[in-house]
Structure 1
Amino acid sequence: MRTVLDVVGVCFLAAVLLVVAFACRRRWLSRDGGTFDCSLQLAEKDHGRGWALGLARYVGDDLQWFRVFSLAWWPKLVVNRRQLQGITTRRPVGNEPLVTYAGHVIVDAELRDRTVHFAMTEEALTGVLAWMESAPPSSQTYH
């Protein structure tokens, strides 16, 4: 019986430490502001599949995306604002409302070499559009 309690205690302690690590990581990522909840479709699949919950932040000319349930200190995806060529939005369809944060819109970002699908709030989308347009005139490219 004592070994069972020891195992349960160790598992409980590990779970608490993991929650604390996730909270500290999120706090560290959000330390400079410019951070918002943002899901990303990691794999091109039908609507509602391949999505991962995450958060994004602005760092200079880059938009960095991090998974929520990860202990990695580096971003999973980095999009430079010079790569962005266009953005379209749509409402979630199929299973997408179930696998993204509530109230988010789907943002299809056209990059030079591919399309990336994000899910974010309307307010975050306004921030992304303002960030795109705020590049210095010498660095903007128009197509």
Structure 2
Amino acid sequence: MGEPLSSTTWVPVAEWLLCALLVLVLLALVTVIVRRFALERGGGAVECYLRSGTARRRAWRIGCARYGTEELRWYRIFSLWPRPTAELSRRGLVVMGRRAPTAEDLRELTADLVVIQVGRLSSSGADPERPEYELAMTEGALTGFLSWLESMPPGTIWQS
């Protein structure tokens, strides 16, 4: 059928494959950087960490949260996916608690962050029993989050 590849033949092939792999890695890196720039460019965005519920074993995920009129959209930082990973509707969202990061949290977070637990009011208006998400952010970002949560854009009519 053909002769086996000799070292003089496979070395150029390996070089081309290595170059192609390097180009793909650089392209992915540039795409992540451009995506992050685009997310933060329009304003109303803050860097924060997110994890689901009270599952202490789950890892914190770093991301960028964008404030919208009706919801907070959370995007993973190191992702190529253009859509948000989580969307927190402003309607019925309440802060259930606030705390400093625990020793276990400090493996993934820094000590200057504040951890808040957020949940959703039930249809009867009762407080939530368990948090839906935990968010970790700086004091300044927390102030912005609480202002966003408590404010209402002009002309918006909340329907209960």
TM range (shorter): 0.7 to 0.9
> Would you say the 8 A contact 1:64–1:78 is kept in 2?
yes
Whether 2:126 is the aligned partner of 1:117: answer: no
> Would you say the 8 A contact 1:44–1:50 is kept in 2?
no
- Call closer, same or farther: CA 1:95–1:4 in 2, change over 3 Å: farther
> Hey, what does 1:65 align to over in structure 2?
74
> Hey, what does 1:18 align to over in structure 2?
28
Counterpart-to-counterpart distance in 2, 1:65 and 1:119: 12
- Cα offset, 1:105, TM superposition: 1.4
Unpaired segments ≥5 residues, structure 1: none
TM-score of the pair, normalised by structure 2 = 0.77
Counterpart-to-counterpart distance in 2, 1:46 and 1:8: 41
2:46 match: secondary structure: strand
Counterpart-to-counterpart distance in 2, 1:118 and 1:111: 14
> Would you say the 8 A contact 2:101–2:111 is kept in 1?
no
Counterpart-to-counterpart distance in 2, 1:90 and 1:62: 23
> Hey, what does 1:75 align to over in structure 2?
84
Listed one character per residue, the Cα deviations across residues 45-94 of structure 1 (whole Å, up to 9, x for unaligned) are: 226x3321111010112111011111111111111211212342111113
Q: 1:45 aligns with which of 45, 48, 55?
A: 55
Whether 2:104 is the aligned partner of 1:104: answer: no
1:53 match: secondary structure: strand
Unpaired segments ≥5 residues, structure 2: 1-10, 123-129
Counterpart-to-counterpart distance in 2, 1:41 and 1:103: 18
Q: Paired residues, what number?
A: 140
Larger Rg: 2
- Cα offset, 1:39, TM superposition: 0.9
Between the aligned residues of both structures, percent identity stands at 32
Amino acid aligned to 1:64: R
> Hey, what does 2:97 align to over in structure 1?
88
Whether 2:54 is the aligned partner of 1:35: answer: no
4+ residue runs over 4 A deviation: none
Amino acid aligned to 1:61: E
> Would you say the 8 A contact 1:39–1:101 is kept in 2?
no
Q: Aligned Cα RMSD in Å?
A: 2.3
> Hey, what does 2:65 align to over in structure 1?
56
- Cα offset, 1:2, TM superposition: 1.5
- Call closer, same or farther: CA 1:80–1:32 in 2, change over 3 Å: same
